[in-house]
Amino acid sequence: MRSDVQIHRDVLRELEADPRVEQTDVGVEVDQGVVTLTGTVNSYTKRLAAQEAARRVHGVLDVANDIQVRTGGRGTPIDAEIAHAVRHALEWDVEVPAERIRSVVTNGVVALEGKVDSPYHRDAAERAVRHLKGVRGVVNQLLVSGPYVDADDVRREVQAALERRADRAAQHIQITVHDGVVTLAGPVHSWAEREAVLGAARYLPGVREVEDRLHLDWYG
């Protein structure tokens, strides 16, 4: 087992190595493998980048991201300008059904509302706007309203996808399906493996939502 001191050291090194992060602006605390990030950065992109960097470190079980985003200063867009930029970003992204999505911008935080056909479209909409200048955060309230799918069909497709993309974890993952909601539970051995498992289920036709009940077991 890696000690908190070792994890703390490596998280700091990972932050320093990531060109998207101002490492000096981010504080790191580690308690029994749980990393808490604090501090202030000037963009939502940097906040997400710091979180991703911490997750890459071996031994990290969970990350609590308490980093604050402050985008004030000369040249910072007002909410109306951000709202226009959000609309343009959604319309220019070919993966996003822009005509079915509404946005509300409050103090730089973008809330996305409406209905889309799949979790893929919901995630694509968030990706399209989260890097815009002045955005301090994104609240994704898009609802997935896809076609009905048989639970057994989803279960078979999820299992097959897991075997293709994360075969080491597939045999240990428990899959339940109810009304298009897929719940995945069991151990995974890294954050990358966790994302592979979730991704295997997230974009299958008929899946409305994926509930993540996976837990990290670095040493299993």
Whether 154 and 210 have beta carbons less than 8 Å apart is answered as no
> Residue 34 — φ and ψ, nearest 5°?
-95, 120
| CA distances (Å), origin 40, targets 31, 49, 66, 104 | 21, 13, 9, 24
Q: What is the pLDDT of residue 38?
A: 95
Q: What is the pLDDT of residue 23?
A: 66
For the full predicted model, state whether its pTM sits above 0.85: no
Q: What is the pLDDT of residue 91?
A: 96
Which segments of the chain have a pLDDT < 70?
Answer: 23, 165-170, 219-220
Q: What is the pLDDT of residue 169?
A: 67
Based on C-alpha coordinates, what's the Rg of the chain? Answer: 19
Length of the chain: 220
Tokens of 179: 């009304």
Q: What is the pLDDT of residue 90?
A: 96
| Mean pLDDT for all residues in the chain | 88
Domains by residue range for the chain, with CATH: 4-69 (3.30.1340.30), 79-144 (3.30.1340), 151-216 (3.30.1340.30)
Q: H/E element holding 81? A: helix 79-92
Whether 54 and 26 have beta carbons less than 8 Å apart is answered as no
Whether 216 and 187 have beta carbons less than 8 Å apart is answered as yes
> What confidence tens digit (pLDDT) does each residue in 29-84 have?
999 999 999 999 988 999 999 999 999 999 999 999 999 998 877 778 899 999 99
| CA distances (Å), origin 9, targets 6, 27, 81, 211, 218 | 5, 12, 41, 32, 18
